[in-house]
Chain A
Amino acid sequence: MDNQKLSHDILNILERLRIMHDLMKDKNFEHIPKEELLNDLQENLDLLKTNFQKLSQ
């Protein structure tokens, strides 16, 4: 995967994290339950770490 694609993916994950932050801050679980959001959070954090590691290689 080239660096440009990795960088794009990382920025998309950060956007997702920002949305999750807003939803959790507002306790807005009407459409996406809290448990699902927490799972998404873990998945995205793992992916973020992997992508950052690849980007640094």
Chain B
Amino acid sequence: MDKIICLGKNYSDHIAEMKEPASEMPVLFLKPASAFIETKNNGKIILPWERGLIHHECEVVFKLYKKNIIGLGLGLDLTLRDTQKELKSKGQPWEISKVFKNSAICTPIQGLRDFLNWQETPFILKVNGEIRQESKLSNAILKPNDMIHYIDKYFPICDGDLIFTGTPSGVAALKPNDMIELKFGPIETSFQVVAQDG
């Protein structure tokens, strides 16, 4: 994988909860492959809690080949929210809040044919058994092919790149030892987020 391409502000309900003005088009940003981690069922993922509030953003993930969507996953785009707010208030770039080890979590990718109707299939994030985020891709502002065309205008797209397609409402903080469950059609996985010494 060369990189992870992320869309921000691609769900109206999330824009509303963040109390931010909607932009004409979704925001684009990148995460490097080194920020990526694939989930292992019942595994543990270490996060940098010492750096402040870590928010989960649950997102459908596309895997691309020749600019086609060839597989789907469900991911968490993690954000150091305090850091992001501070950087935004200073008008500075906010990569530091988005790019850190394990900040791009994704389930193993499944082929499209494993889904009945993937754009209408609900995706769900549960934390400690409680639903935190639930939506479907058809609620996103840009449709899947429009996302790729939009990205293609600005970034070189490489085979194997992942697209994190934006998050719906319900973003909130994680705590050390939270149990995370991700469900999207045939994808169902659970893992724990822990501290370095956890």
A residues contacting B by CB (< 8 A) are 12, 15-16, 18-19, 22-23, 26, 28, 30-32
**Residues of A contacting B111 in the complex (Cβ-Cβ under 8 angstroms):** 22-23, 26, 28
Report the Cα distance A23→B113, complex, angstroms. Answer: 11
**Residues of A contacting B71 in the complex (Cβ-Cβ under 8 angstroms):** 22
Question: A27's closest neighbor in chain B, by CB?
Answer: B113
B112, A23: Cβ atoms closer than 8 Å: no
Q: Mark B135-163, 1 if CB is under 8 A from A, else 0.
A: 00000000000000000000000111000
A-B pairs with CB below 8 Å: how many?
A: 40
B70, A12: Cβ atoms closer than 8 Å: no
A15, B68: Cβ atoms closer than 8 Å: no
Question: B161's closest neighbor in chain A, by CB?
Answer: A15
B residues contacting A by CB (< 8 A) are 1-2, 63, 65-66, 68-71, 109, 111-113, 158-160
Contact among B69, B109, B158, B159 for A31, CB-based, below 8 A: B69
Known: A16-B160, A23-B70. A32 touches B65 (CB 8 A): yes
Report 20 cross-chain contacts, Cβ distance below 8 Å, ordered by A residue: A12-B158, A12-B159, A15-B159, A15-B160, A19-B63, A19-B65, A19-B160, A22-B70, A22-B111, A23-B65, A23-B111, A26-B111, A26-B113, A28-B113, A30-B113, A31-B65, A31-B69, A32-B65, A32-B66, A32-B70
Q: How far is the CB of A36 from chain B (nearest CB, A)?
A: 9
B70, A31: Cβ atoms closer than 8 Å: yes
Report the Cα distance A37→B60, complex, angstroms. Answer: 26
Question: B65's closest neighbor in chain A, by CB?
Answer: A19
**Residues of B contacting A22 in the complex (Cβ-Cβ under 8 angstroms):** 70-71, 109, 111
Known: A15-B1, A22-B71. A28 touches B159 (CB 8 A): no
Nearest 10 CB-CB pairings of A with B: A31-B68, A15-B160, A26-B111, A19-B65, A16-B159, A28-B111, A19-B160, A28-B113, A23-B70, A32-B66
